[in-house]
Structure 1
Amino acid sequence: MTDKLLFLQQMAPFIAVMTALCVGGWALTTWLRVRHGYPLENSWGKAIYPRKDEETQERIKLLTQENAQLRAELGAIKDRLANVERIVTDSAHSLAHEIEGLRGIAN
């Protein structure tokens, strides 16, 4: 009996460390799943997806519209930036020639 008790006393720190590692690993994987948008699982391994109510659907719709508007605005800004880069990188002679050509068209 004392041999068994002595063995358990010696194994207690190992068991405690292993338990802490398992619980910590479980918490870490759960946090990573939530952070990256993966569904959680119940005790049977079935995916648990968040509820989708009307408010959530409306919010997704508004965010999708805002995303489309921002993408369109970004496209316009990219076009303007490309024109500015072209103006800056052109030689001064070519730029002056274009400006004079535009002045001739305007008059």
Structure 2
Amino acid sequence: MFWRRRRMARRVLDALAKAPGHEMDTATLAERTELRPASLYPLLVHLRHRGWVTTRQPSPDAADTARRGRPLYQVSPYGWWIVRGGKASTAPSAWWPTGRRPA
């Protein structure tokens, strides 16, 4: 299970890193990573909890009305560290969601 989740997380982070503006909604992310929504949503919650991904709500006057209410996901600074091949234990502590490395 761990390795499968790790591969899926890598696919999500890579897709977000290659996206224009480095952010995507869930429908586009599912399409690009070829993950089912049933697998993608829990994974995004996990990545957000770990601090690898952040979300933001699009502005109410967004041009694309079909995607107006969907949150946009983007790679956090800590997530960029992981995408570029850094190890979680060597990331600067300011990037950790809690502000410090776990023991």
Q: When the two structures are superposed, what TM-score results if normalisation uses the length of structure 2?
A: 0.20
Q: TM-score, normalised by structure 1?
A: 0.19
Larger RCO: Structure 1 or Structure 2 (Cα < 8 Å, ≥ 6 residues apart)? 2
Larger helix percent: 1
